[in-house]
Structure 1
């Protein structure tokens, strides 16, 4: 254990850009990794909130993320998501590196979304983005979307007016026109990204334009959702893996329980998109719950880059 490599947040930022991280994920899917075979996330209630255990093994590496979700932390000036990632040699299971788990999540989650955005949105014109949320994931998603698409405007919708104004200011610092807005702004959006802790729908799904794309990443709980049944029933739905979505994606499980959709409503997966699946002209919904194979792929790439 004395030679365990430590990889912190600034090192991750230096080693992998958002676009490069999306490429890492695309490469492992093209190489044949099957997300459907991944082990489920284990959630363990603890007094401060919840511990999430996410193990995976593929290729030269194995690893496990222990993430903490502490709802009371923001009031204390601490991050809501904490954690560590232990990367192991895939053959001997010898520990190789310990990574900042929260920073890893903040890198890989927007990269997963960016990979979907590459396949689900047009690349022949600047897009109008409506971004729900103003926390670390919102900042990460703005950077990741800008890595793969040009933006005509960013409209930030946040529960905290101060946070929303700050994120809009950050977007303007990147030379993107930006302002704060309301849920009704989705009506004119090409792309809607939801990265919040909301448990109820954030906007009226009937307002989303036929060719628009919605990305929802904020929840992995069966009873929590950011999008409503109206959007889900209208949309062509893509997920990371059908098995994970049907375990954890409240955005789909609630309409399923209502009888509004069936399990066959899922049109495809991220692997399908990467391997050439062409979306229709309907609204598109990419619902992400976060999976252990994503953490492993990115952690392995960071380790390889750090030791090169």
Structure 2
């Protein structure tokens, strides 16, 4: 039997951002424990880094093989490469091969959308978006799916990609402009999906009702947000184990002595199950590093949708 290949076009056709977020929530409501998931394995290679991310449930198993090639954009190629192999949970027989970058571009925003659903104020209208790559487009779509956005400020290093994203947002009906980091002071929602290794903005300028989402790094020494934000905010992570292993946004403030692991307010599962509610008047901060169970939850839902068509 030929293994079905679900390419980027098929993934986009079969599952939208809201449905992907529902799949992530459903996995948590069904009792999946992110704390027990195997860590990603990173292997240095000449072109960059090779990441292996396995996960399993009773119905499915899967593994994402992703390449991170920093030199690719200069060649006109994607920075993130790879594939996802989905297996039957009972027999471990392969059932589908999915485009890895397309899955990641859907999965990561879906996880952020779950956090935004539970953390952002219901009438959040102004999004400040750091980054202008594939994750920025995916996060814009995901945020639009869960909040009534009307304004967008794009903050990016290069003007051409920023203007392209602004034009895309205007076609969606948003009042969109390119701006600078100071725009966060007027934001209801801030999303960071960049390759930055140092903070992108002053966390002290974030308003008390604002939600910040940072997903650009899974390295313990790299961060998109500063210590001021972390110490002010209600901080939510995918899993404590993953955050304390990989999240530089959390680990750097801990290393500075300004934050403690026990200061973490909770996890996505706590939000979904209603065990955690954001504190009024205090910024909300979700830090995501990306976990293998999320890929599996979304890949399985894509596969189910493919079988239903």
TM-score, normalised to structure 2, is 0.98
Match for residue 94 of structure 2? 95
Measured in 1, the distance between the counterparts of 2:83 and 2:228 equals: 38
Q: Which residue of 2 aligns with 1:194?
A: 192
CA–CA distance in structure 2, aligned partners of residues 59 and 110 of structure 1: 25
| Structure 1 residue 163 corresponds to structure 2 residue 161 | yes
- Written as runs of structure 1 = structure 2, the 5 A alignment for 1:201-220 is 201-220=199-218
The Cα of 1:233 is off from its aligned counterpart by 0.6
The corresponding residue for 1:305 is 305
1:76-119 superposed Cα distances (whole Å, 9 cap, x missing partner): 00000000000011111111111001100000000100110000
Is 2:41 the counterpart of 1:42?
yes
Secondary structure of 2:265 counterpart: strand
User: TM-score scaled to structure 1, two decimals?
Assistant: 0.98
Counterpart in the other structure of 1:53: 52
User: In 2, distance between residues paired with 1:287 and 1:70?
Assistant: 23
Distance 2:5 2:16 in 1: 19
Distance 2:257 2:27 in 1: 35
Q: CA deviation at 1:152?
A: 2.5
2:296 is aligned to 296
Tell me, what secondary structure is at the counterpart of 2:225?
coil
Query: What secondary structure is seen at the aligned counterpart in 1 of 2:220?
Result: coil
Q: Which residue of 2 aligns with 1:81?
A: 80
C-alpha deviations, 1:14-48, integer Å up to 9, x for none?
11110000001101101110000000000000000
Per-residue deviation at 1:3?
A: 2.8
Answer whether contact 2:124 2:147 (CA < 8 A) is retained.
Answer: yes
By how many angstroms is 1:223 displaced?
Answer: 0.5
Structure 1 equivalent of residue 136 of structure 2: 138
Q: Counterpart of 1:151 in 2: which secondary structure?
A: coil
2:150 is paired with a residue whose SS is: strand
| Contact 2:237 2:268 survives alignment (8 Å) | yes
- Matches for 1:1-308 after TM superposition, within 5 Å: 2-123=1-122, 125-276=123-274, 277-281=276-280, 282-308=282-308
SS of structure 2 residue aligned to 1:92: coil
Q: How many residues are treated as equivalent by the alignment?
A: 306
For 2:86 and 2:211, locate their aligned partners in 1 and report how far apart those are by CA, in whole Å: 34
Give the deviation of 1:265 after TM superposition.
1.4
Structure 1 ranges of 4+ moved more than 4 A: none
Deviations 1:165-200 (A, max 9, x none): 111111110001100110001011110000000000
Structure 1: state its 5+ residue gaps. none
The offset of 1:211, in angstroms, is: 1.2
